[in-house]
Amino acid sequence: MFDTKIAIVLRNNLAGWQKLNVTAFLSTGIAGQYPEIIGEPYKDRAGNLYNPLSIQPIIVLSADDATISTIHRRALERDVTSSVFIEEMFATGHDTANRAVFAEYAPDDAKVVGIALRADKKIVDKITKGATMQL
8 Å CB contact between 71 and 63: yes
- Tell which phi-psi region holds residue 106, choosing left (phi > 0), alpha (psi between -120 and 50) or beta: beta
For the CA atoms of 19, 25, 26, 31, what is the dihedral angle to 10 degrees? 140
Q: What is the mean pLDDT of residues 107-134?
A: 96
Beta-carbon contacts of 126 under 8 Å, excluding residues fewer than 6 positions away, are: 74, 78
Assign 87 a pLDDT band (cuts: 50, 70, 90). very high
In the chain, the percentage of residues whose pLDDT exceeds 90 is 97
Assign 134 a pLDDT band (cuts: 50, 70, 90). confident
Domain topology for 4-133: Bit1 (3.40.1490)
